[in-house]
Amino acid sequence: MKLQDFITRVADPVKLEFKGKCYDAGAASQHCSCCHRPIRQVFMLKDQSGTKFYFGSGCIDFFKKWNRPLWKKLDASRTWLHTWIQQEVKATRAARKSDSLRLSEQKYSTIKKEAAAAIREYHKKTGKEWLPEHLFVLQNLLNAPKPTLKPASRSRWLDRRAEEMRKYFSAPTLA
Ligand SMILES: [Zn+2]
């Protein structure tokens, strides 16, 4: 873009100021004052009359040629914002992971209790020591050690194991 085009489209770059206001707009639709495209990382600039201009992280590079001190500030803020967004993403992911692990643990421990109760019930009702095959498999699953896994794979393992146990459980022949 030529300087004159930029001035017509936005404003005179040497007359714009950046006071450090930049943020992650997330899904909220903010449009770039320069290219008019929806932007996620928003940098707010003002001219001397206080009119606000919103720039996306790509368009701030136009200032590199026309207002280098301004560009330097924007560039540093872009790095900061980028790091901040990445940390947020990581934190959200970790929170989601631990939520899903907690749910899996709960489900697994419930089904385990139910399975153990079903086996006890069978012994009590029949007076037999030997278990029918489906309960025998269930008991083996109950007694099998839990592997040491990272949270995500652990959650998957617990879900799979709970499903498997439920399968033997719902086998109809308890009598
Ligand atoms: Zn833009």
Ligand 1 center–CA 78 separation, angstroms:
14
Q: Please say whether the beta carbons of 6 and 29 come within 8 A.
A: no
> What are the backbone angles phi and psi of residue 6, rounded to the nearest 5°?
-65, -45
Low-confidence ranges of the chain (pLDDT < 50): 174-175
Tokens of 86: 């990445």
Return the domain boundaries, the chain.
3-66, 97-169
Output the pLDDT for position 69. 97
Per-residue pLDDT of 2-14, as tens digits, reads: 999 999 999 999 9
Ligand 1 center–CA 101 separation, angstroms:
41
Ligand 1 center–CA 62 separation, angstroms:
10
> What are the backbone angles phi and psi of residue 23, rounded to the nearest 5°?
-160, 165
Output the pLDDT for position 74. 98
Output the pLDDT for position 175. 43
Strands (E) in the chain, as ranges, are: 17-24, 30-31, 38-39, 41-46, 52-55
Output the pLDDT for position 174. 47
Output the pLDDT for position 152. 77
